[in-house]
Amino acid sequence: MYVCAVDKQTNDDLSAGISRRFEQLLRSEKHYDCVFHIAGAQLKCHKLILSTASPVFEAMFYGPLREQQQEIEILDISAETFQMLLNYIYAGVIDFESLTLEDAIELYYCAEKYLITDLTNSCLVAIARKLRYNNILPALELCVCMDLRDLLDVCMSFFTRCCINNPQYMTSHKNHYVHVSKDCIKAIIAANKSEKTSKQLLWFVYEWCQQECHELGLQQKDCALIINDLQLPVSGVECEDHALQSLQQPKQQCHAIERSYFKACRPFIVDQDTHEWTLYVKCDRFIALRGLVICSRLTPNISPMSHYAFNIPSEYCENLQIEIVAPAINANQQQLEQSSGSDGESDESDQEPNVANGGETVLWQHNVTKQLTRYNCDMNIEWGDGLLLTPDIEYKIRLVWRTDAYGSEYPCSLQSDFVDGIRFRDVPAQTGSLVKGLRFTNLV
């Protein structure tokens, strides 16, 4: 046993000594017989040593189609990465700890190109250890662009196992968005077609689609041009084009929620100073907002006159403007939809978002004109196509009345602030709320 231990130590010393000699030969540039030109750098090497490590180099230098020129130009690898490859061939040493993920991926590409299997496997292990939430998408993008299939499997395994089903990653992705190519999205979809990932995948792809529209200067209604060929999976929920189709579903497929009534408050009187009503809404999922339910006016209080018989009307024509406002930082992710109201004459603006005071942006407007409404009832205000509301963003819903509504009274009440994943926040200066509910379509 003692002899074997000595022999093993001797072999290790011999290997280390040979590596040092080869490394010294590389650094001294003695007796070189080939030169690699890479981005202005010249790397002088030895054909025989390169050929012993790589069958590609062997074919280049000693095969039937061998290079006749002593100087070789390389265009697809950086000089730093090729130098690391040479260090591995000559000395068998790579310091993976000091490499960034991008450097490790480029080294993997280099090792795969020259069919150096041991280095390829070492790179795969090192890359797997470096994957994090903030670099997985750039890693996937590089794998797809460079057609690195084995490495793509490693990165995709991490993404499927640790990211797509992890709410923490989805939150991190929304806060630190990284945009990738359509080919990368297709690869992600192809690898995540299981039933359990379909919902999260839809969120991820739809967020990407919104950003892609912004990058290309498209409107939301043009998203289908991008998403149609993504081949989203069909599972228990309808996934293929589900998000886009939901924006244009018939109104009878909408969901309606209504806040719980607690107690009555002082009515809201429209006048020159108070002709706007504000409510804040935040949802926990993607929805397409299609309408509001608000309280209609109180019956006018007309003093009886003995000499004149006056019939109190039961209906009136409502005229108001609805605005959806978002923080300016989120406005560039929103696209405006053009649609028409269903009851009465109405129109909606289809223009670029307008920056309002206080760092807010008016995303969308809807004008209700001469909508015949009964007094003391629920008034349903609807529009054609849904307006996309993104999760975890607090939107302001603002109702604005015209001068012809001055003097009108609207009943208000204290109501619940959370219904079916949608949170309502009333302005403290207002007494209660006159917005009773929403009509919407779930996108996931």
In this prediction the pTM is: 0.50
If pLDDT is split at 50, 70 and 90, which confidence band does 242 have? very low
Q: Residue 307: what pLDDT?
A: 54
Q: Residue 220: what pLDDT?
A: 62
pLDDT exceeds cutoff 60 at 428:
yes
Q: Residue 352: what pLDDT?
A: 42
**Whole-angstrom Cα distance, residue 130 to residue 135?**
9
pLDDT digit string, tens, across residues 343-378:
444 444 444 445 555 567 888 899 999 999 999 999
**Whole-angstrom Cα distance, residue 111 to residue 127?**
13
Strands (E), 51-140: 71-73
Q: Which of 89-98, 206-215, 314-323 has the lowest mean pLDDT?
A: 206-215
Q: Residue 197: what pLDDT?
A: 56
Q: Residue 351: what pLDDT?
A: 41
What size, in residues, is the chain?
A: 444
Q: Residue 422: what pLDDT?
A: 93
Task: Give 3-state DSSP helix, strand, coil % of the chain, rounded to 5.
Answer: 40, 30, 35
Long-range contacts of residues 90-98, Cβ cutoff 8 Å, at least 24 apart:
90/19, 90/22, 90/23, 90/25, 90/26, 90/49, 91/19, 91/20, 91/22, 91/23, 91/26, 92/19, 93/19, 93/23, 94/119, 94/122, 96/122, 96/123, 96/126
Tokens of 48: 């025989």
Strands 276-283 and 261-269: unpaired
| Burial of 387 from C-beta contacts in 10 A (0-12 / 13-18 / 19+) | buried
Contacts of 23 (CB under 8 A, 6+ apart): 87, 90, 91, 93
Helix (H) or strand (E) holding 384: strand 378-389
If pLDDT is split at 50, 70 and 90, which confidence band does 312 have? confident
If pLDDT is split at 50, 70 and 90, which confidence band does 103 have? very high
pLDDT digit string, tens, across residues 78-98:
999 999 999 999 988 899 999
pLDDT digit string, tens, across residues 164-205:
877 767 777 777 788 888 889 888 888 887 645 566 787 788
Compare 76 and 163 and report the one with higher pLDDT.
Answer: 76
pLDDT exceeds cutoff 50 at 423:
yes
Residue written as tokens 């080939």? 34
pLDDT digit string, tens, across residues 34-68:
999 998 899 999 999 999 999 999 999 998 877 77
Q: Which residues of 282-306 are buried (b: 16+ CB within 10 A; e: fewer)?
A: bbebbbbbbbbbbbbbeeeeeeeee
pLDDT exceeds cutoff 90 at 14:
no
Contacts of 382 (CB under 8 A, 6+ apart): 251, 290, 291, 341, 342, 343, 439
If pLDDT is split at 50, 70 and 90, which confidence band does 162 have? confident
Residue written as tokens 């003097």? 407
Count CA within 13 A, CB hemisphere, residue 309: 0
Percentage of residues in the chain having pLDDT higher than 70: 77
Compare 353 and 293 and report the one with higher pLDDT.
Answer: 293
Show the domains of the chain with their CATH numbers: 9-130 (3.30.710.10), 253-299+314-442 (2.60.120.820)
Tokens of 72: 């070789």
Contacts of 149 (CB under 8 A, 6+ apart): 143
pLDDT digit string, tens, across residues 259-286:
999 999 999 999 988 999 999 999 877 7
Strands 34-38 and 71-73: parallel
Q: Residue 106: what pLDDT?
A: 94
Q: Residue 223: what pLDDT?
A: 65
**Are the C-beta atoms of 432 and 410 separated by less than 8 Å?**
no
